[in-house]
Amino acid sequence: MKKIVWTFGLIAGGILALTMVLTMPFHEEIGYDRGLVIGYTSMVAAFLLIFFGIRSYRDNVGGGSVGFGRAFAVGVLIAALASACYVAAWEVIYFTYGSDFLTSYQTHQIDKARERGASQAEIDKQIAENAKFAKLYQNPAINAALTFVEPFPVGLVIALVSAGVLSRRRRLPEAAPA
Protein backbone atom coordinates (compact mmCIF):
# COMPACT_ATOMS: atom_id res chain seq x y z
CA MET A 1 0.00 0.00 0.00
CA LYS A 2 2.84 2.41 0.84
CA LYS A 3 4.34 2.33 -2.63
CA ILE A 4 0.99 2.97 -4.30
CA VAL A 5 0.12 5.83 -1.94
CA TRP A 6 3.54 7.43 -2.36
CA THR A 7 3.56 7.03 -6.13
CA PHE A 8 0.08 8.35 -6.82
CA GLY A 9 0.19 10.91 -4.01
CA LEU A 10 3.44 12.45 -5.23
CA ILE A 11 2.29 12.54 -8.85
CA ALA A 12 -0.98 14.24 -7.83
CA GLY A 13 0.94 16.58 -5.53
CA GLY A 14 3.36 17.39 -8.33
CA ILE A 15 0.46 18.33 -10.60
CA LEU A 16 -1.00 20.58 -7.90
CA ALA A 17 2.34 22.21 -7.11
CA LEU A 18 3.28 22.67 -10.76
CA THR A 19 -0.04 24.31 -11.56
CA MET A 20 0.45 26.70 -8.65
CA VAL A 21 4.04 27.51 -9.59
CA LEU A 22 3.08 28.17 -13.20
CA THR A 23 0.03 30.34 -12.46
CA MET A 24 1.07 32.31 -9.37
CA PRO A 25 3.34 34.77 -11.16
CA PHE A 26 0.38 35.70 -13.36
CA HIS A 27 -2.36 35.81 -10.72
CA GLU A 28 -3.27 39.43 -11.48
CA GLU A 29 -3.35 38.88 -15.25
CA ILE A 30 -5.39 35.68 -14.88
CA GLY A 31 -7.79 37.29 -12.43
CA TYR A 32 -9.00 35.89 -9.14
CA ASP A 33 -12.24 34.40 -10.45
CA ARG A 34 -10.54 32.61 -13.34
CA GLY A 35 -7.70 31.64 -11.02
CA LEU A 36 -10.23 29.95 -8.76
CA VAL A 37 -11.59 27.95 -11.71
CA ILE A 38 -8.08 27.01 -12.86
CA GLY A 39 -7.07 26.04 -9.33
CA TYR A 40 -10.03 23.80 -8.59
CA THR A 41 -9.96 22.27 -12.07
CA SER A 42 -6.32 21.33 -11.55
CA MET A 43 -7.26 19.86 -8.16
CA VAL A 44 -9.94 17.65 -9.69
CA ALA A 45 -7.54 16.60 -12.46
CA ALA A 46 -4.77 15.80 -9.98
CA PHE A 47 -7.10 13.98 -7.63
CA LEU A 48 -8.30 11.73 -10.43
CA LEU A 49 -5.10 9.87 -9.61
CA ILE A 50 -6.88 8.74 -6.43
CA PHE A 51 -9.16 6.61 -8.62
CA PHE A 52 -6.18 5.08 -10.42
CA GLY A 53 -4.32 4.55 -7.14
CA ILE A 54 -7.25 2.70 -5.59
CA ARG A 55 -7.67 0.65 -8.77
CA SER A 56 -3.96 -0.20 -8.75
CA TYR A 57 -4.22 -1.26 -5.11
CA ARG A 58 -7.29 -3.38 -5.83
CA ASP A 59 -5.78 -5.10 -8.85
CA ASN A 60 -2.15 -5.49 -7.73
CA VAL A 61 -2.33 -5.85 -3.96
CA GLY A 62 -5.89 -6.97 -3.28
CA GLY A 63 -5.99 -9.64 -5.94
CA GLY A 64 -8.90 -8.02 -7.74
CA SER A 65 -10.98 -7.12 -4.71
CA VAL A 66 -10.89 -4.46 -2.04
CA GLY A 67 -13.36 -3.44 0.64
CA PHE A 68 -14.80 0.05 0.81
CA GLY A 69 -12.87 0.92 4.00
CA ARG A 70 -9.48 -0.08 2.61
CA ALA A 71 -10.18 1.62 -0.72
CA PHE A 72 -11.25 4.81 1.07
CA ALA A 73 -8.13 4.67 3.27
CA VAL A 74 -5.88 4.42 0.21
CA GLY A 75 -7.73 7.35 -1.40
CA VAL A 76 -7.54 9.53 1.72
CA LEU A 77 -3.82 8.87 2.08
CA ILE A 78 -3.20 9.81 -1.55
CA ALA A 79 -5.29 12.97 -1.07
CA ALA A 80 -3.42 13.87 2.13
CA LEU A 81 -0.01 13.40 0.51
CA ALA A 82 -0.99 15.42 -2.57
CA SER A 83 -2.43 18.16 -0.35
CA ALA A 84 0.79 18.22 1.67
CA CYS A 85 2.73 18.79 -1.57
CA TYR A 86 0.33 21.63 -2.40
CA VAL A 87 0.96 23.16 1.03
CA ALA A 88 4.73 22.82 0.68
CA ALA A 89 4.65 24.56 -2.69
CA TRP A 90 2.47 27.37 -1.32
CA GLU A 91 4.65 27.90 1.74
CA VAL A 92 7.75 28.28 -0.44
CA ILE A 93 5.95 30.59 -2.88
CA TYR A 94 4.24 32.70 -0.23
CA PHE A 95 7.20 33.21 2.06
CA THR A 96 9.67 33.91 -0.78
CA TYR A 97 8.18 35.84 -3.65
CA GLY A 98 4.39 35.64 -3.28
CA SER A 99 3.79 37.57 -0.08
CA ASP A 100 2.12 40.38 -2.05
CA PHE A 101 -0.63 37.93 -3.05
CA LEU A 102 -2.62 38.43 0.14
CA THR A 103 -2.52 42.22 -0.10
CA SER A 104 -3.51 42.06 -3.76
CA TYR A 105 -6.36 39.65 -3.05
CA GLN A 106 -7.66 41.74 -0.15
CA THR A 107 -7.63 44.84 -2.36
CA HIS A 108 -9.62 42.84 -4.92
CA GLN A 109 -12.17 41.93 -2.22
CA ILE A 110 -12.59 45.58 -1.19
CA ASP A 111 -12.98 46.65 -4.83
CA LYS A 112 -15.69 44.01 -5.35
CA ALA A 113 -17.48 45.22 -2.22
CA ARG A 114 -17.43 48.78 -3.57
CA GLU A 115 -18.71 47.59 -6.97
CA ARG A 116 -21.70 45.86 -5.40
CA GLY A 117 -22.53 49.03 -3.48
CA ALA A 118 -21.40 48.17 0.04
CA SER A 119 -21.62 50.97 2.58
CA GLN A 120 -18.47 52.57 3.95
CA ALA A 121 -19.16 50.89 7.31
CA GLU A 122 -19.21 47.46 5.61
CA ILE A 123 -16.02 48.29 3.73
CA ASP A 124 -14.32 49.46 6.94
CA LYS A 125 -15.40 46.23 8.64
CA GLN A 126 -13.97 44.21 5.72
CA ILE A 127 -10.69 46.15 5.93
CA ALA A 128 -10.44 45.44 9.68
CA GLU A 129 -11.15 41.72 9.13
CA ASN A 130 -8.56 41.63 6.34
CA ALA A 131 -5.95 43.18 8.64
CA LYS A 132 -6.63 40.55 11.34
CA PHE A 133 -6.44 37.76 8.80
CA ALA A 134 -3.21 39.10 7.29
CA LYS A 135 -1.57 39.09 10.74
CA LEU A 136 -2.82 35.58 11.43
CA TYR A 137 -1.70 34.37 7.99
CA GLN A 138 1.92 35.32 8.68
CA ASN A 139 2.14 32.38 11.09
CA PRO A 140 3.49 29.49 8.95
CA ALA A 141 1.54 26.85 10.90
CA ILE A 142 -1.78 28.65 10.47
CA ASN A 143 -0.89 29.45 6.87
CA ALA A 144 -0.18 25.75 6.23
CA ALA A 145 -3.37 24.59 7.95
CA LEU A 146 -5.55 27.01 6.00
CA THR A 147 -3.81 26.06 2.76
CA PHE A 148 -4.29 22.33 3.45
CA VAL A 149 -8.05 22.86 3.71
CA GLU A 150 -8.22 24.15 0.13
CA PRO A 151 -7.48 20.93 -1.79
CA PHE A 152 -8.08 18.21 0.81
CA PRO A 153 -11.91 18.30 0.80
CA VAL A 154 -11.86 17.91 -2.99
CA GLY A 155 -9.59 14.89 -2.60
CA LEU A 156 -11.82 13.52 0.15
CA VAL A 157 -14.90 13.62 -2.09
CA ILE A 158 -13.02 11.98 -4.95
CA ALA A 159 -11.68 9.31 -2.56
CA LEU A 160 -15.21 8.62 -1.32
CA VAL A 161 -16.65 8.30 -4.81
CA SER A 162 -13.70 6.26 -6.09
CA ALA A 163 -13.87 3.88 -3.11
CA GLY A 164 -17.56 3.38 -3.72
CA VAL A 165 -17.06 2.69 -7.41
CA LEU A 166 -14.00 0.45 -7.09
CA SER A 167 -14.70 -1.54 -3.93
CA ARG A 168 -15.75 -5.11 -4.37
CA ARG A 169 -15.54 -8.10 -2.15
CA ARG A 170 -14.24 -11.43 -3.28
CA ARG A 171 -17.07 -13.79 -4.02
CA LEU A 172 -16.95 -17.23 -2.54
CA PRO A 173 -17.15 -20.01 -5.08
CA GLU A 174 -20.63 -21.42 -5.29
CA ALA A 175 -21.06 -24.97 -4.14
CA ALA A 176 -21.73 -27.47 -6.91
CA PRO A 177 -25.30 -28.76 -6.93
CA ALA A 178 -25.65 -32.14 -5.26
pLDDT digits 0-9 by tens, 87-122: 999 999 988 876 788 888 888 888 888 888 888 888
Q: Cα separation of 164 and 72, whole Å?
A: 8
User: Is there a contact between 158 and 76 (Cβ–Cβ < 8 Å)?
Assistant: no
pLDDT digits 0-9 by tens, 16-51: 999 999 988 887 788 888 888 999 999 999 999 999
Q: Is the pLDDT of residue 82 over 80?
A: yes
Percentage of the chain with pLDDT > 90?
57
The pTM is what?
0.85
User: Is there a contact between 38 and 30 (Cβ–Cβ < 8 Å)?
Assistant: yes
Q: Cα separation of 5 and 138, whole Å?
A: 31
